[in-house]
Amino acid sequence: MNKPLVVIFAAICLDAVGISLIFPILPRLLEDVTHSQDIASYIGIMTALYAAMQFVFAPVLGALSDSLGRRPVLLISLAGAAVNYLIMAFAPQLWMLLLGRAIAGLTSANASVATAYITDISSENERARRFGLLSAMFGMGFIVGPVLGGLLGDYWLRLPFIAAAILNGCNLLLALFVLPESRTPSRQKIDLAVLNPLRPLRWVFSMKRLLPIVLVYFILSATGEAYGTCWALWGFDTFRWNGLWIGLSLGAFGICQTLVQALLPGPATRVLGERWAVVVGIACACAALVAMAFASQGWIAFAIMPIFALAGIGTPAFQALATRQVDPSRQGELQGVLTSAISLASIISPLAFSTFYFVVQKDWPGAIWLSVVAIYVAAVPLVLLGTRTARAARLASA
């Protein structure tokens, strides 16, 4: 494995540790700042604000990475994340927490730029495997981050945010001194039209073969937001988990996800094909979610995690499929668009899921997972159509 790839994987892993550190203690922080126990809506607002800023600026940063290079945009993103966590570490009021999340969303180009970077240095045959490894590195970060966050948060509520700021600072130094540029930056003057965040969206809607892929990304991302929004709340309300147990549950899922993403995407795609890999993944997610909805003891959540993690087997295949739809000079723009589609779902979903959770919280917290199942089931026809359309376009161009 070449040096730049190792650095990108390490940066994504550290980024995941920094992000997941705060998950176990964010509900308690909001309770402390707002002096209210009904904080489901606040979590939804914070998550949606982050996504809204990401939606506006991720395509811009992706396009700028095509023009200026991947490295400077990645450095700006990492610096913004460090500033965000420092603000959250010492924020005494809700508006300061919201400001920190807005800054983080504005500079959150890590995933899209890292994906474009890997596309730059990888052949088409290598991309699916490397995208799977990229997801696995993110999963490894989620093994360490939540457990560490739960431990630190039980010691001092603000400590995980300080740790996240330090990790992002280390991430920044790693990229600054070790990571080379993956493409030759353009010497031409930047076209101000590139800074229009709606321009890439108009571009993607003009590409009929790419549109189904983006829509599938949108739907799967919408369902995924339920976990980040409601997991800690559900764990406390259903099982009375403290920060450590919430962290351990997320860490256990990270282990399962890492093994799945590292070992199964390639074989699953070869055996099932892109379309059925996604369908099988959805079926596994639905089975796990139904078990979670009716779980009355915490060990059940741990027992079904291997099945739950299988939901991710189709994502790397989708990513590889999407990269083949555009030429290399527009990979950054493509990844920015995909991030925007995910972010658009992330604006709507946290508000919807947090509102629904607030309604069912006292009577049946597990009902939130059945709402995710309903969305998955409704999405299956579109997933089948999207993968079939993309596969037909790929065969036609072969």
Here the tokens at position 140 are 């490894």
Please check whether residue 52 is in contact with residue 105, taking contact to mean a CB–CB distance below 8 angstroms.
yes
pLDDT at residue 341, as a whole number:
75
Q: Regarding predicted confidence, which is higher, 56 or 352?
A: 352
Q: Residue range 192-212: average pLDDT? A: 65
- pLDDT band of residue 288 (cuts 50, 70, 90) is very high
Cα distance between residue 72 and residue 175, in whole Å: 9
DSSP 314: G
Confidence check: pLDDT of 100 > 60:
yes
Tokens 């000079």: give the residue: 329
Q: What is the pLDDT of residue 20?
A: 79
Report the Cα 267 to chain-centroid distance in Å.
23
**8 A C-beta contact, residue 357 and residue 40:** yes
Q: How far apart are CA 251 and CA 247, in angstroms?
A: 6
| Cα 378 to chain centroid, rounded | 22
Lowest-confidence region among 40-54, 84-98, 177-191, 341-355? 177-191
Does residue 265 contact residue 317 with C-beta atoms inside 8 Å? yes
Q: How much is the pTM?
A: 0.71
Question: Which residue has better confidence, 339 or 115?
Answer: 115
Q: Per-residue pLDDT for 289 more than 90?
A: yes
Which residue bears the tokens 């059945």? 370
Q: Is 384's pLDDT higher than 80?
A: no
Instruction: Give the tokens for residue 382.
Output: 């579109």
Q: Which of 372, 58, 20 is nearest to 219 (CA)?
A: 372
Q: Look over the chain and give the mean of its residue pLDDT values, rounded to a whole number.
A: 80
d(Cα 318, Cα 213) in Å, to the nearest integer?
7
Cβ–Cβ < 8 Å for 381, 89: no
Q: Which residue has the higher pLDDT, 102 or 188?
A: 102
Q: Please give the average per-residue pLDDT across 303-325, as a whole number.
A: 77
Q: Give whole-number Cα distances, 383 to 31, 76, 213, 234, 282, in Å.
A: 39, 35, 8, 29, 10
C-alpha closest to that of 339 among 150, 123, 111, 139 = 111
Band (pLDDT 50/70/90 cuts) for residue 332 is low
% the chain with pLDDT above 90: 9
By the 8 A CB rule, do 194 and 67 touch? yes
Between CA 270 and CA 225 the distance in angstroms is 29
Q: Is 183 left (phi over 0), alpha (psi -120 to 50) or beta?
A: beta
Q: What is the DSSP string of 350-395?
A: HHHHHHHHHHHTTT-TTHHHHHHHHHHHHHHHHHHHHHHHHHHHHH
Task: Of 31-35, 261-265, 275-279, give the range with the top mean pLDDT.
Answer: 31-35
Phi, psi of 173 (to 5 degrees): -65, -40
pLDDT in the model for residue 203: 64
Do 250 and 17 meet the contact criterion of CB atoms below 8 Å apart?
A: no
> What backbone phi and psi angles, to 5 degrees, belong to 24?
-65, -25
Confidence of residue 66 (pLDDT cuts 50, 70, 90): confident
User: What pLDDT band is residue 364 in, cutting at 50, 70 and 90?
Assistant: very high
Helix/strand/coil for 251: helix
Q: Tokens for 384, please give them.
A: 């089948």
Query: What's the burial of 138, exposed, middle or buried (CB within 10 Å: 0-12/13-18/19+)?
Result: buried
Tell me the pLDDT tens digit for each residue of 138-193.
777 778 888 888 888 888 888 988 988 888 888 788 888 888 887 776 655 656 66
Q: How far, CA to CA in Å, does 10 sit from each of 3, 16, 133, 166, 177?
A: 11, 10, 11, 15, 14
Check whether 393 has a pLDDT greater than 60. Answer: no
pLDDT tens digits for range 68-80: 788 888 888 888 8
pLDDT of residue 292: 94
Q: Which among 346, 58, 350 has a CA at the least distance from the CA of 201?
A: 58
Query: Which residues have C-beta within 8 Å of that of residue 46, sequence separation ≥ 6?
Result: 26, 30, 97, 98, 101
- Label residue 303 by pLDDT band (50, 70, 90): very high
